[in-house]
Structure 1
Amino acid sequence: MIIRIIGEGQYRAPEALCEELNKIDNRIVVLVSQGKAQEFRQELARLISEIKEKGESVSAEEILESDIIVPPEDLSLEEAKEVFTGSGIFED
């Protein structure tokens, strides 16, 4: 799976990592729906960190379509309410 972090580039993520990211994504959906801004930001930072640490960076010369687009770490709670709804950005 190819994941793009807005403003940071693309990463290849193996299936096992995607399962882990989906769990974080599901927590973010709950936190956003509860209006817990601080906890949401912590989990979004964790999501991005996991992608960067465990995914494989795609070179800028390689042009690939992204399967998932992750918003930047500075996303506001109001903006997150538009992004993290239903099953979130990772489909179950």
Structure 2
Amino acid sequence: MIMRVMGEGQFEVGDAHLNRLNELDEELLAALESGDEDHFRRALGELLGAVKQHGSPLPDDSLEPSDLILPNADATIDEVRRLLRAEGDGLIPGIPE
């Protein structure tokens, strides 16, 4: 799956890591619901860090379409809430059973 982090580029992340990314996505959703800025920053940082850790960066000149787009680390709570409304349930899609 190709994930774009706004302003940072694209990362190809294997399906084997989607469960962990979904867990981090759930934590981010909880932080958004609580409105706790520190919790939000920590959860967003952990999610983006996991994408970068488990993903392989694509070259800047790559023309691959992104399967999903994630906010950058500087995004505000309101920006991420708007992105979630546009995307639906969370930022990371679940794995089909």
TM-score, shorter chain, exceeding 0.5: yes
- Distance change (3 Å), C-alpha of 1:29 and 1:84: farther
Question: TM-score by structure 1 length?
Answer: 0.90
Alignment partners' CA distance in 2, 1:81 and 1:35:
11
Superposed CA deviations along residues 26-85 of structure 1, whole A, max 9, x for unmatched, are 111111011111111111111111111111111122210000101010111122222235
Q: For 1:33-52, what aligned pairs fall within 5 Å after superposition?
A: 33-52=33-52
Question: TM-score by structure 2 length?
Answer: 0.86
Q: Which residue of 1 aligns with 2:56?
A: 56
Dislocated runs of 4+, deviation >4 Å: none
Matched residues, percent identical? 28
Alignment partners' CA distance in 2, 1:27 and 1:83:
16
Q: Which residue of 2 aligns with 1:70?
A: 70
Amino acid paired to 2:66: S
May I ask how many residue pairs the two structures share in their alignment? 92
Segments of structure 1 that go 5 or more residues without pairing to the other structure are: none
CA-based RMSD of the aligned residues comes to: 1.4
Segments of structure 2 that go 5 or more residues without pairing to the other structure are: none
